Each structure stands twice: as C-alpha cells, then as structure tokens.
Amino acid sequence: MGSTSAHKNEGLGRRDLIKRSAALGLITVPTMSFLSACASSDTSSDETVKKGKTSAKNPLGVNATAPLDVVIFNGGFGEQYAIDAEKQYTAAYPKAKVKHTATQKIQSQLQPRFNGGTPPDLIDNSGAEQMDMGVLVGKKQLLDLTPLMDAPSIDDPSKKVRDTLRPGVLEMGQFDGDPVWIMNYAYTVYGVWYSQTALDNLDAQYPENWDDMLALCAKAKKKGIAGWTYAGKYPYYLPFSLYPFIGKIGGREVLDKIDNLEPNAWKDPAVKSAFEAYYELYQKGYILKGTPGLTHIQSQTEWTKGKALFIPNGSWVENEAAPTTPKDFKMMVSAPSSLDSSDKLPFGTIWAAGGEPFVVPAKAKNPEGGMEQLRIMLSEESSKNFTKQVKSLSAFNGGTDGLTLSTALQAGVDALTKAGDNVVNPRLQDWYGKLQKEQIGTAGIGEMMAGRLTPTEAIKKIQGYADAAAKDQSIKHYKHQ
C-alpha cells in the first residue's frame, strides 16, 4: 500500500483493508476462512476507528464519538495536568469516552499491548520503566506526528503547532531526518541542583570552577555536610550534569561523537578530565555515605534534608521532592562548574531539552484523537496549568506570563537565559536507552562513583559497550544530521 496517511503505513495490511471496506459496506465478507487466509502478521482483531470530517475546529479529523485511551506516567509530574487537558477533549467531543490510566510501570503494562497490536492512543513514555524509544522507532511502532506539527495551533490558527514550540523540541522528536516520532511535553533543564539557603549558611556562592567546587565541598565536610549525592540505584542521573560538563570542556562535537557511537569517542581527553574530576569527589569523601544504595527519591530526600549540597537532576525534581522540601530551602539549578580556563565553552553551558516524551502508537485505534489531545496540551491554557501545577516549563514557548515562578523555576529560566546558544542536547538517552541506562550509567559511571572502577577502567568499559552497540545489527542506529 502507498503511504496515504502516516498511521496506515504500519497497521493497514490487506486484512485491515478488507475489514475496513466491510465496515463501510464496500464489500461483503464471504467467510472467515477467506479472511484468515489473507491474515498478515497483525493478529489483533481491533480496527482503527473511522476518521472524522476535518474542519477549522477539527483540523486533524477526529472521530467525535470514538473512545480515547490515554496512559500517563505517574512520576515527578503526577497526572492531574493530563486529566485537566482530557477534560478539554471531552468538552470538545462530549460523545467520546476518555479512558485515563496512570502508572509507573510503563514497560510491563504496555509492552504486551504493543506486542498484541492493541496499544493505547496516547502514551507518556517516561520513568525508570520507559520503553526504549530507539527500538520503538526502529521497529516502526510509532506514528509520525508531522500532521500534528503542521496543524493550526489552538491559540492562533495562523501559526502551526510546530511554530509554537521551544527551541530543539521538534528536533528531539526526530530520529532519522524528517518524521517526528515523539512530542516531548516538558522542557527540562538538567544540571546541578542545590539549596541557596544551604550555600548562604556556608557563606558560599555556587562554584563556577572545579577548584572552587572542591574547596566548597571541603568546607561543607568540616560541618558534617556531604558535597554531593545522586540516585545511586539509577546512576544514569549522573550524566544530567556530567554530559554538559564534558561538552563544556571539549566542545559539543565530543558529545556528538559519543551519540554517533564513533570509535574511541569515549577516549576523548574531555571525557577523561570530566571523569577524573567526578572521581575526585569520591576519593576525597565528598559524596554522601551510602549514596550508591539510594533510589532517586531517597537521594533527593537526603538532599532536601540538608545532608548534601549538590545533586545532578532534571527540573521535575522540584515537584517530585516537594513533600520533603523545607519552606526556606530556596531550590536552585546551575550549569556545571567549569573545569578550568581552557574549557572550549563558557560557564553557563547547560543541557536543556524536551522531556516527558509522548507518543501515539502506529497501531493506535484512534490516532487522530491521540494527536488532538497533544494539540490541546500545547495550548497556552494547558501549558500554564502544567507549569503552575508541576513547577516545570512545557514545550510550548511561553505560558509563564502572569505566573509567579518558584525560585527553582526562575533559576531554570535564568540558567537558560545565561546559556544563550550554549545549550547542549545529548541524544544517547533517547537513541540508545539500554546503553545509556544500564551500561554507561549503571555498569560504567555508577561503578566508578562507587569506587569500584578507576576513570580509565570506566572509560575502557564504556567504550566497549558503545562499540558493541555500534556493531549490533539488531538495533537501529542514528546519527546527528
């Protein structure tokens, strides 16, 4: 079949075509045996709902009576922002029943549905149990969201949705040139998080270079406070500050080579310098005791209790750690410290990018509904509601007018302003999820920070994992265009 529409490429085999034609009364279905003889590899008996009529109010052609099945990751951002946006969908399509599910177990709950050909219509694919994006894209299991990007935005129909997004958001949803497979709804500032109150108590400023960082950690240690903690059980949080540190030292091309799985990319001097700096935190006893055994929540709790000054994290941390954060904490974020004056990029270089990835499966029954729900979420009203509720920026470029921003959110906005063009966006975590989380994060960087590998050993080990991934023909490979 030709690619008459994005979602038909994948799911519309001959069998589906017959079913759909039968449903429209175009052909009579002789017998089931005829159908089973034509069966393609799609074994599900569910069909895609009939598309509705497109209009100015309904540019994607949503079927007004078709049910919508949404699954939200119930993590740092909770689920209320999505429920609120779904209410707007129901207001627009009162006959459509919206089924809302919130879970932390994305992979275990949804992989069987993907395998069975009955996935939901919209998924927030996030958290520790995130399904591997590179694999989903490589296996053609996602719908191309270009129709959504080209649809008129809700607030200003003269603008397309793509024109209302923050810098880099659209590109992050692309893996191979043009198609847009993912809509990252949150705009995440990754970096080194700290309490301004804790620094004030030590009569200190955020350290802008590594010598100052070590000096401050030494000062804190004398007062019984650790310099750093991190999600020891999920050490892939460490790159949230370590990757931009590497990019700052050696330039963004070092990160590009790592993403591209180029031979010896990890053996770049910038990687070695960054690893050695972080390893020094371990050697000098500046990491909170017991950190390697902590989950992300436990490490954040120790941090909000004032047991450690710094934690590498993303901007969801403010909402996620809210239950344990003291009123006078003054949560802030900064770009990584410089190593020294020979760094290629200036202080302020930071990792910021789309986060909280939403996808519409290729075999969704109601793909137009899934895309329309995202279009609603990318309105100013939904975006403001998200920011107000979860203390994070959204992918919508704006939505902060008239809102009083918390110190953490203001610090994120200020960090982006300071960075200017010096925003890096490593792609490993969405191109090669397993490599990033289990191998580089846990078996490499995590082992080094626990003192079980030297920087040289960690680099050698990680380079081995990257080389194996580069040679592995069973996974799809991506490159910076």
pLDDT digits (tens, 9 = 90+) for 72-83: 999 989 999 999
| The residue to which tokens 């050490």 are assigned | 235
Task: Give the helix, strand, coil percentages of the chain, each rounded to 5.
Answer: 45, 15, 40
Tell whether domain 60-186+355-404 is in CATH 3.40.190.10: yes
Using the predicted structure, report yes or no on whether residue 61 has a pLDDT greater than 60.
yes
Q: Exposed, middle or buried by CB within 10 Å (0-12, 13-18, 19+), for 341?
A: exposed
Q: Would you tell me the crossing angle of helices 367-377 and 80-92 to the nearest 10 degrees?
A: 110
> According to CATH, where is 3.40.190.10 located in the chain?
60-186+355-404, 188-353+408-471
| The residue to which tokens 């085999």 are assigned | 13
Instruction: Tell if the pTM clears 0.85, that is, is over it.
Output: no
Using the predicted structure, report yes or no on whether residue 45 has a pLDDT greater than 90.
no
Can you list the positions of beta strands (E) in 360-481?
A: 393-394, 423-424
Using the predicted structure, report yes or no on whether residue 197 has a pLDDT greater than 50.
yes
* Positive or negative: CA dihedral 369, 374, 377, 378: negative
Q: How many CB atoms lie within 10 A of CB 255?
A: 26
- For residue 445, give the DSSP letter: I
Candidates 300, 306, 334, 336; CA nearest to 318 is 300
Q: What is the dihedral of CA 310, 212, 448, 422, to 10 degrees?
A: 80
Asked if 318 contacts 409 with a C-beta cutoff of 8 angstroms, the reply is yes
pLDDT digits (tens, 9 = 90+) for 212-254: 999 999 999 999 999 999 999 999 999 999 999 999 999 999 9
For 90, 259, 263, the CA distances from 62, given in Å and listed in that order, are 12, 38, 47
H helices of 100-209, in order, are 106-115, 133-138, 146-150, 169-172, 196-201
Using the predicted structure, report yes or no on whether residue 318 has a pLDDT greater than 90.
yes
Q: What is the mean pLDDT of residues 406-434?
A: 93
| The residue to which tokens 């975006």 are assigned | 383
Asked if 396 contacts 169 with a C-beta cutoff of 8 angstroms, the reply is no
Domain 188-353+408-471 architecture: 3-Layer(aba) Sandwich (3.40)
Question: 3-class secondary structure for 393-419?
Answer: EECECCCCCCCCCCHHHHHHHHHHHHH
- Reading the block at residue 363, the tokens are 């075999």
pLDDT digits (tens, 9 = 90+) for 13-40: 433 433 434 343 333 333 333 333 333 3
Residue 128's pLDDT is 85
pLDDT digits (tens, 9 = 90+) for 432-447: 999 999 999 999 999 9
Using the predicted structure, report yes or no on whether residue 46 has a pLDDT greater than 60.
no
Q: How many CB atoms lie within 10 A of CB 150?
A: 13
H helices of 173-223, in order, are 196-201, 210-222
Highest-pLDDT range among 3-7, 46-50, 140-144: 140-144
Lowest model confidence (mean pLDDT) among 56-65, 163-172, 334-343: 163-172
Q: Could you tell me which residue, 24 or 207, shows the higher pLDDT?
A: 207
Band of the pLDDT at 167, cuts 50, 70, 90?
Answer: confident
